[in-house]
Amino acid sequence: MTDDYDLPNGAEQSERLHEEALDVFPGGVSHNIRYTDPHPLYVTEAEGSRIRDADGNEYVDFWMNHITSVLGHAHPEVVAAVREQAGQGLHYGAVNEKALELGRRVQEFVPSAERVRFCSSGTEATMYAVRLARANTGNAHVLKTEGGWHGGNTDLSASIHAPFDEPETVGLPPGAAEHVHSFPVNDRTAVDALLSERDGNVAAIIVEPMLLAGGGIECEAGFLEYLRDATEDRETLLIFDEVVTGFRVSPGSYQARVGVTPDLTTMGKFLGGGLPVGALAGRADLFEHARPDVETDRPVLAGGGTFSMNPMTATAGLASLDIVESEPVHEYTESQAERVRTELAAVFDELGIETRTLGTSSLFLTHFQPERPLDTVGAVETATNRTALHEFHRRLLSHGYYFLPGHMGAVSYQTTEEELDGLIDASRAVAAELQSEGVL
């Protein structure tokens, strides 16, 4: 076997496991973004701010479980709560008090959450949100941002990667993509044009307040206020996809931070405390036709699945929210991530490497050699030196810092200031290497 990673203990075991996985999973993975060339590193343990791979290499983790683990891995209080619940049962397939309590906490924190429905993933939550919007408005079309990622559901598998007018996947039912239309983030003129073109037949506008897969571009507060007004004027619903930003940017999520309340909100990631979760929340009247206890000639399935209202997930989520309420989680993670964004910018400036580091709250991502301002997702997709970004992240591994190559990084509550010092120093060394080799 060859070892294409420059790691203290090599990567022989990860390579062996990947070769075995090729006979089990297509491409060796069950989630395409987890594939990295020449092979992924197999993780065997995650605790605090660190992960370890199958070869015994240890890394400070900035990928943090798909940007889920705001508290870091295996927070002791969350683990203790989950262990206790496991002794009472892993799942009941029935209603339970723990899930009820988590739903109440969502209502307490999130301004739009008059009613809540749980499912098991963010993908399901956005699927149900679109279905509920169409059911309530009677309209067919949905507007979304270019570069917005709302999971792999059929209704929203469009305009994710540039060029945004090309199909994202084959296998969709005829006409599915024809009902989804995209606009550049923060572009009011483009939204106005789409609403006018399909006047009276737009069910919803769905946006991520900060586009994760889209490169870290944030919706301006004024743009979200504009969307709120524009949808109300046309009796169209506004959906915030807060699967990433939910509970991460503030206890009440992004909507509480900017003071804009959507009609529907989708959530996931942090809400499950590290276990699978999805949730759809919103105005009470929008859920009337989803109720099993009300006679209706327009029933709509919105929420559910075997593992919805799982007591293990609810227990982990409740323990995580307790920590957020009692400790300065947001203050620490946001201040430290701002420090990273600022100091990375200074390092690259010292070396004369043109970059722009985006992100909000605890999130950060550096774009190398942008050819024009990164104020739209199209600019991120076409102007960034993605090869350099992948190689930058890949080489940080040999210094002991883990990113999923090409993706956003996050500071967790258990990430130490000393570890951030090390990241800055390692970034300086790797950037200088790439510059000397002509990659940058």
Which pLDDT tens digit goes with each residue over 408-435? 999 999 999 999 999 999 999 999 999 9
Tens of pLDDT along 355-389?
A: 888 899 999 999 887 655 555 555 455 456 888 99
End-to-end CA distance of the chain: 31
Average pLDDT along the chain: 93
The 8-class DSSP code of residue 196 comes to H
384-395 in b/e form (b: 16+ CB < 10 A) is: bbeebbbbbbbb
Q: Which residue has the tokens 């743009």?
A: 223
Task: State pLDDT tens for residues 82-129.
Answer: 999 999 999 999 999 999 999 999 999 999 999 999 999 999 999 999
Assign 95 to helix, strand or coil.
coil
Beta strands in 160-300 (DSSP E): 180-183, 202-207, 237-241, 264-267, 278-282
**Res 183 pLDDT > 80:** yes
What pLDDT score does 241 carry? 98
Q: What's the pLDDT at 375?
A: 56
Q: Does residue 76 register a pLDDT over 80?
A: yes
| Beta pairing partners, 205 | 143, 238
> Does residue 358 contact residue 216 with C-beta atoms inside 8 Å?
yes
Query: Which 8-state DSSP code applies to residue 276?
Result: -
Q: 3-state DSSP call for residue 330?
A: helix
Name the residue with tokens 């002991």: 400
pLDDT for residue 31 is more than 70 = yes
Q: CA-CA distances (angstroms) from residue 253 to 89, 168, 180, 318, 397?
A: 31, 29, 26, 16, 32
pLDDT band for position 164 (cuts 50, 70, 90): confident
The yes-or-no verdict on residue 191 having pLDDT over 80 is yes
Domains and their CATH numbers in the chain: 12-74+328-436 (3.90.1150.10), 76-326 (3.40.640.10)
Res 160: pLDDT? 80
- The residue-averaged pLDDT of 249-274 equals 96
Name which of 267-276, 293-302, 333-342 the model is least confident about.
293-302
Residue 46 has pLDDT above 90, yes or no: yes
- Give me the mean pLDDT over the 314-343 stretch: 97
Identify the pLDDT of residue 2.
38
The pLDDT score that the predictor gives to residue 374 is: 55
DSSP string for residues in 30-76: SSGGG--SS-PPPEEEEEBTEEEETTS-EEEESSHHHHT-TT-BT-H
What whole-number distance in Å separates Cα of residue 377 and Cα of residue 180? 17
Summarize the confidence of residues 275-299 as an average pLDDT. Answer: 94
pTM of the model: 0.95
